[in-house]
Amino acid sequence: MKLSGDGPRKVVFMRGESWNSSISEFLQLANDIINNGFKFIDPFQTYQNQFTFYVDLKKSDDQSVPTFIGNETRGLTWSDTETASLRAASSCNGVTDSDSMYLLYTGKPLFLGSGLGLSNFTNNIAAFADDNGREPYVTIHEMGHIFGKLFDEYLYSQSGSVWNLSVRWGVSAKNCTPHPSWDYRARNNKIYGSTVATGCGFMYSSEDFKGQPIRYYRPSLLGIMSGTYSLFNVIDCGYIVAAIQGQAPTQENASKHWPENDPSAPWNIGCMLMAKSGVVIKDGIPPLSPTPNLTTINE
């Protein structure tokens, strides 16, 4: 069933059998997430005309969604096979395509403690926990994963490899990086992310050839991908805009959308211009060096 929109990027709302919900409750949830998530949080808000939203009214078998009760809340996996089966069983498949996003709302606790959502990057599907997992910002956070291919910007543990996760998950974004002055730099040679906010997925990786730990950096101290704020930062915004425009969410494509003026964006609104309007985070971005004063010396 189509809810709203006529854009090329398709989003399907699903509900699991574990959620004891009526159709009216489900529709109310979907509309709340559209209005207070997609139409409220940038860059989705700026590009809202690029999306079409559907609801799959039937209840899906969500037994494969992992449930973990205990203190350890990280590391749960949701296999490609299980998520592919969930997508294949959707009654909306006649109007969607392989790039469509599927959002499954369950009655499960998922990660008791801090985790409210779980994503599978390969099949563009995310599942959400009961109660707080249905908050709009949680859905938009998971859209950052399955749509923008972004890493979490909080810590899984002190030590680990973002590179290994990128290979395992098929993630192309470089929002977590040991080289912020390079990976946050656009073609205009300006840096659009913090070069001092440490810890992104992990605090550090293995030691370099000098025996020093390799630190990871995130684009901003706070942000929706770090689970501490309801806004994206400029770097993450660029990856999402690239995906919205049908581009692969790579650093090369994302960097085109970081500056204020983006020729390919509506009204030339780039992510930095959104940031100056207060709807995208720009904290931690290094200030531009002042233009040097030139003095003419007469001999």
How many CB atoms within 10 Å of residue 112? Answer: 14
pLDDT at 68: 59
Domains and CATH numbers, the chain: 2-146 (3.40.390.10), 155-276 (no CATH)
Mean pLDDT estimate for the chain: 87
- For residue 297, is pLDDT > 70? no
pLDDT at 73: 41
- For residue 170, is pLDDT > 90? no
Task: Express each pLDDT in 73-123 by its tens digit.
Answer: 444 567 888 889 999 999 998 899 989 999 999 988 765 445 578 888 888
Three-class DSSP labels, the chain:
CEEEECCCEEEEEEEECCCCCCHHHHHHHHHHHHHHHHCCCCCCCCCHHHEEEEEEEEEECCCCCCCECCCCCCCCCCCHHHHHHHHHCCCCCCCCCCCCEEEEECCCCCECCCCCEEEECCCCEEEECCHHHHCHHHHHHHHHHHCCCCCCCCEEEEECCHHHHHHHHCCCCCCCECCHHHHCECCCCCECCCCCCECEEEEEEEECCCCCEEECECCCCCCHHHCCCCCCEHHHHHHHHHHHCCCCCCHHHHHHHCCCECCCCHHHECHHHHHHCCCCECCCCCCCCCCCCCCCCCC
Residue with the bigger pLDDT between 292 and 211: it is: 211
pLDDT at 298: 56
Task: Express each pLDDT in 231-269 by its tens digit.
Answer: 999 999 999 999 999 999 899 999 999 999 988 887 889
Percent of the chain scoring above 90 in pLDDT:
61
pLDDT at 23: 96
Most confident of the ranges 12-26, 151-165, 254-268:
12-26
pLDDT at 205: 84
Peptide bond into 213 cis (omega under 30): no
Task: Express each pLDDT in 36-46 by its tens digit.
Answer: 999 999 999 99
